[in-house]
């Protein structure tokens, strides 16, 4: 009989799918009963015949600490006096079929280091945060009209002690944060840190959704890492995977002997492409589990956002499946209506609890209104990865420049839809692994041209509307593709070309930070204006980026061939003196030095739809940023 009305209410909300803090109800928590300190355990297992807590403390004997079933919907509880932080445990579950199985706690906050699989008692409230100033500033910040450049990294292969032996989160804080801050990134994005059995899944196939992977330390160690990032002015985004989970025996699969967290229908449950199981998005308790999990990472770890992985795999019943492996929805469509409803509910819940965070969808289709509010029919994220831009641009950049003029649309098409969503431009880990080659090695041409192409690509990326994301190694031109069991090829920085690319990335980031035109109107059409999108013969494009202040306007000219064009006419929106404030072809970046050192005075003759034009040198495989630094003599006279 439950006598605590608060507990009764939480249990009711859990079964209704509306308990946003279910990790405070379920799992292992320090408690006091009849004056004795110990641990209260609670688990949801409605199909179990009996559940016990087992561990070294009772020699893994399920008869010692049986749990009591406190309601008809299958919540089991037990209080064990004398246990404390660090206790290793599992749940022993007797199924309807007479089988005994050992399961890790779905709500455990910590886990044993693989290959061991037990859960570890770890209180949530024994870390003292020092990031109050950051959290205060975050509430007042408008991310849409602010610079955002994200450094995506996989901690274990950024640097490691040796393959599959990693540093602690605290060590990574000392190494990663100064590096990222020096380069000028605003955010770090970490590949999933939920506990997972297999290193090479990179965390995308998890068993412990509430458990920080013990590969890098304890929950408090991770809190320290986030805390230090915030103290250094760097936000932290975590890759999060609510779409599917792995089938390992100690995890969520058939948790109480029956399909519980996954769909009972194999056609909906099986992710055949990955060998994983789909969450049952229609089940209320699963909704409480996942929504609470999102809020848990944002609240308990002060994270600044979640990048939600594989959203398309949630939205479509036929994702990654052949004919006959999936079933139509009740209206004859291929959309997973339950997942759509869940995603909307999740985002509404997250933003009600933490209104100042980022919820970023990795959604690879043309599903409409991904980053629009739910009240106008959107999915409710506030950002979407622009996978179309990424695919088009990498395809374009991999071509020999001789052939680029035949595929000019690949660099211009993204502007037809650039303002339909709040986009992030992602060059992520997925693009530099599994034989896809590193970003530098995708580039065609000889040694010099590879680096010139990379500089041009990065400059165009930073000039294009949308926030920015680059996977580790791209910033210094790693030649090999990502080797997930080794650390980055840091020795390349002993070579001038790679050291120059690192400096180039830093200077490009500084330009980006300093120029509101590159981010202030990122998601509005008035933030961008084509000057010339049609010169496919020479593979040259030019455009303007605008801020709220007219004088902050930038003119950007991109040349995707190795030809130099002298006395090239570029239309400019206003008359005056234009200065080249940044060139990807500068000699100190390893370029050929075909820059425009002298001021460029506009000529009052129409060109490319503009009233004025300038003549300039267009560098080979280069991008030039121009800014009007003073008004022309004519405009000054008019005043």
Residues recognised as catalytic? 309, 362
Q: Please, which residues have CB within 8 angstroms of residue 439's CB and are 6 or more apart in sequence?
A: 427, 431, 432, 454, 457, 471, 473, 474, 477, 478
Omega cis (within 30) before 606: no
Radius of gyration of the chain (CA): 27
Q: Please, which residues have CB within 8 angstroms of residue 637's CB and are 6 or more apart in sequence?
A: none
Contact (Cβ atoms closer than 8 angstroms) between residue 405 and residue 536: yes
Q: Please, which residues have CB within 8 angstroms of residue 284's CB and are 6 or more apart in sequence?
A: 14, 15, 16, 17, 18
Taking residue 551's Cβ as centre, other Cβ atoms within 10 Å add up to 13
Classified as helix, coil or strand, 506 is helix
Q: Please, which residues have CB within 8 angstroms of residue 512's CB and are 6 or more apart in sequence?
A: 147, 149, 184, 462, 468, 518, 519
Helix (H) or strand (E) holding 210: strand 208-212
Contact (Cβ atoms closer than 8 angstroms) between residue 542 and residue 570: yes
Q: How large is the angle between the packed helices 496-514 and 169-183, nearest 10 degrees?
A: 70
Strands, E assignment, 386-435: 423-427
Tell me the two tokens of residue 482: 């990502």
Tell me the two tokens of residue 528: 């961008």
Tell me the two tokens of residue 390: 């990424």
> What are residue 111's DSSP bridge partners?
119
* Sign of the Cα pseudo-torsion (129, 131, 136, 138, in order): negative
Helix (H) or strand (E) holding 297: helix 284-300
Among residues 202, 201, 221, the alpha carbon closest in space to that of 155 is found at: 202
CA dist 26 → 17, 55, 56, 262 (Å): 14, 18, 21, 19
Classified as helix, coil or strand, 150 is strand
Contact (Cβ atoms closer than 8 angstroms) between residue 204 and residue 429: no
Q: How large is the angle between the packed helices 284-300 and 337-353, nearest 10 degrees?
A: 30
Return d(Cα 73, Cα 51) in angstroms, integer.
14
Return d(Cα 374, Cα 372) in angstroms, integer.
7
Judged by phi (left if over 0) then psi (alpha if -120 to 50, else beta), residue 94 lies in: beta
């Amino acid at each position: 009989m439950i006598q605590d009305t608060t507990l009764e209410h939480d249990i009711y909300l859990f079964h209704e799918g509306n308990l946003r803090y279910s990790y405070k109800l379920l799992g292992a928590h320090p408690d006091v009963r009849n004056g004795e300190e110990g641990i209260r355990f609670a688990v949801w297992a409605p199909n179990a015949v009996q559940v016990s807590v087992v561990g070294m403390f009772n020699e893994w004997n399920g008869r010692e600490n049986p749990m009591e079933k406190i309601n008809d919907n299958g919540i089991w509880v037990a209080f064990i006096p004398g246990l404390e932080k660090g206790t290793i445990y599992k749940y022993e579950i007797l199924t309807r079929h007479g089988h005994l199985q050992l399961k890790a706690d779905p709500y455990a906050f910590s886990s044993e280091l693989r290959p061991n699989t037990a859960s570890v008692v770890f209180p949530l409230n024994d870390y003292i945060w020092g990031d109050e100033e950051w959290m205060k500033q975050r509430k007042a910040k408008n991310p849409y009209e602010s610079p955002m450049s994200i450094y995506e990294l996989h901690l274990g292969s950024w640097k490691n002690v040796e393959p599959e032996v990693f540093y602690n989160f605290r060590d990574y804080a000392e190494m990663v944060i100064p590096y990222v801050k020096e380069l000028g990134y605003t955010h770090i994005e970490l590949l999933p840190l939920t506990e997972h059995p297999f290193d090479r899944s990179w965390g995308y196939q998890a068993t412990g959704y509430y458990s920080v992977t013990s590969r890098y330390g304890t929950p408090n160690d991770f809190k320290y890492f986030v805390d230090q990032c915030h103290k250094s002015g760097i936000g932290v985004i975590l890759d999060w995977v609510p779409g599917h989970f792995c089938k390992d025996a100690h995890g969520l699969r058939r948790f109480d002997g029956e399909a519980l967290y996954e769909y009972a229908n194999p056609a909906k449950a099986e992710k055949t492409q990955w060998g994983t199981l789909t969450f049952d998005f229609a089940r209320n308790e699963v909704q409480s589990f996942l929504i609470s999990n999102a809020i848990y990472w944002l609240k308990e770890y002060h994270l600044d956002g979640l990048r939600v992985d594989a959203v398309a795999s949630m939205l479509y019943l036929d994702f990654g499946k052949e004919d006959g492996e999936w079933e139509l929805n009740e209206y004859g469509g291929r959309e997973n209506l339950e997942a759509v409803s869940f995603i909307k509910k999740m985002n509404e819940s997250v933003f009600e609890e933490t209104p100042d965070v980022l919820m970023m969808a990795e959604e690879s289709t043309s599903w409409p209104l991904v980053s629009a509010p739910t009240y106008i029919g959107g999915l409710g994220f506030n950002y979407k990865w622009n996978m179309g831009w990424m695919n088009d641009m990498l395809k374009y950049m991999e071509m020999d420049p001789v052939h680029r003029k035949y595929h000019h649309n690949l660099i211009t098409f993204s502007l037809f839809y650039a303002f339909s969503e709040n986009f992030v431009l992602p060059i992520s880990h997925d693009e530099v692994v599994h034989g896809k080659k590193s970003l530098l090695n995708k580039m065609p041409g000889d040694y010099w041209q590879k680096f010139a192409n990379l500089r041009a690509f990065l400059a165009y990326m930073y000039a294009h509307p949308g926030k920015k994301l680059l996977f580790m190694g791209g910033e210094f031109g790693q030649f090999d593709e990502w080797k997930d069991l080794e650390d980055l090829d840091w020795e390349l920085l002993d070579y001038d070309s790679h050291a120059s690319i690192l400096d180039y990335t830093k200077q490009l980031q500084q330009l980006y930070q300093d120029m509101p035109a590159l981010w202030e109107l990122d998601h509005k059409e008035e933030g961008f204006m084509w000057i010339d999108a049609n010169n496919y013969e020479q593979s040259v494009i030019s455009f303007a980026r605008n801020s709220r202040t007219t004088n902050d306007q930038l003119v950007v000219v991109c040349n995707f061939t190795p030809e130099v064009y002298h006395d090239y006419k570029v239309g400019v929106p206003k008359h005056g003196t234009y200065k080249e404030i940044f060139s990807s072809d500068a000699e100190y970046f390893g370029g050929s030095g075909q820059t425009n050192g002298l001021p460029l005075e506009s000529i009052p003759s129409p060109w490319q739809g503009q009233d004025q034009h300038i003549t300039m040198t267009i560098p080979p495989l280069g991008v030039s940023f121009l800014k009007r630094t003073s008004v022309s003599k004519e405009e000054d006279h008019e005043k």
